[in-house]
């Protein structure tokens, strides 16, 4: 069973429906025991970083995220769910993240012809990983104004929108995307299937 963490904010139903379409059982839940029993866990997020990280902590779901990371089972962060895994964010102030991934989330600078928020389809440069096949290239769907712009060894996909930013990361049993795979058509569904088939534990598993 795939547990989709419900902390009061996030694109819950669309993620649940995407996994259901693929034939996987997915449950939206705020029950720590159900999350602990799940084979895979999804951390979604929509809106402002401050609101999401605050709700995650207020509901006690931060502990479930950390226990999932420690357990070795696969964890997928989506959009602000990915951003919260970083060290912090500068959206409307300075806020501390979970510190699981390297980097800080900052506002995209925009530029001539580049509207903020960055909304719509964009291509990403990928490398072989749990989500992406060797030699694959995809257009995926983004909705965001902030992103981590510091690339690291954990970066598995990059998008350029005025500046390069981290589109996806992978570390041990964690993968996360700034884009929305559940809204990215056939390519996004393939990524979700690859995640659902992943055993976790380490990047090479």
Question: What is the predicted pLDDT for the residue at 204?
Answer: 39
The catalytically annotated residue of 16, 91, 154, 182 is 182
Question: What is the predicted pLDDT for the residue at 28?
Answer: 98
pLDDT band at residue 137 under the 50/70/90 scheme: confident
Whether 148 is a known active-site residue: answer: no
- Torsion of the alpha carbons at 161, 166, 168 and 169, rounded to the nearest 10: 170
pLDDT (tens digit, 9 = 90+) per residue, 51-85? Answer: 999 999 999 999 999 999 999 999 999 999 999 99
Q: HSE on the CB side for 32, CA within 13 Å?
A: 10
pLDDT (tens digit, 9 = 90+) per residue, 145-184? Answer: 999 999 999 999 999 999 999 999 999 999 999 999 999 9
The catalytically annotated residue of 16, 52, 79, 144 is 79
The catalytically annotated residue of 40, 118, 138, 180 is 180
Q: Is the domain 2-197 a CATH 3.40.50.880 member?
A: yes
> How far out from the chain centre does Cα 150 lie?
16
Residue located via tokens 């990524």 = 191
Q: Which of 55, 48, 100 is nearest to 75 (CA)?
A: 100
Higher pLDDT, 4 or 112: 4
Determine if the pTM surpasses 0.85.
yes
Whether 52 is a known active-site residue: answer: no
Whether 180 is a known active-site residue: answer: yes
């Amino acid at each position: 069973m795939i547990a989709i963490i419900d902390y009061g904010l996030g694109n819950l139903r669309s993620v649940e429906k995407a996994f259901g379409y693929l034939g996987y059982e997915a449950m939206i839940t705020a029950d720590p025991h159900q999350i602990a029993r799940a084979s895979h866990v999804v951390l979604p997020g929509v809106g402002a970083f401050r609101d999401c990280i605050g709700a995650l902590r207020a509901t006690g779901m931060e502990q479930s995220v950390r226990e999932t990371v420690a357990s070795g089972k696969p964890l997928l962060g989506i959009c602000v769910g990915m951003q919260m895994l970083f060290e912090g964010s500068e959206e409307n102030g300075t806020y501390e993240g979970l510190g699981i991934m390297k980097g800080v989330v900052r506002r995209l600078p925009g530029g001539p012809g580049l509207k903020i928020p960055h909304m719509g389809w964009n291509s990403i440069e990928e490398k072989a990983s749990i989500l992406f096949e060797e030699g694959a290239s995809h257009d995926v769907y983004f909705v965001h104004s902030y992103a981590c712009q510091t690339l690291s060894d954990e970066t598995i996909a990059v998008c350029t929108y005025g500046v390069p930013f981290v589109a996806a990361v992978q570390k041990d049993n964690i993968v996360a995307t700034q884009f929305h795979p559940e809204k990215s058509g056939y390519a996004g569904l393939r990524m979700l299937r690859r995640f659902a088939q992943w055993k976790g534990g380490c990047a090479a598993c």
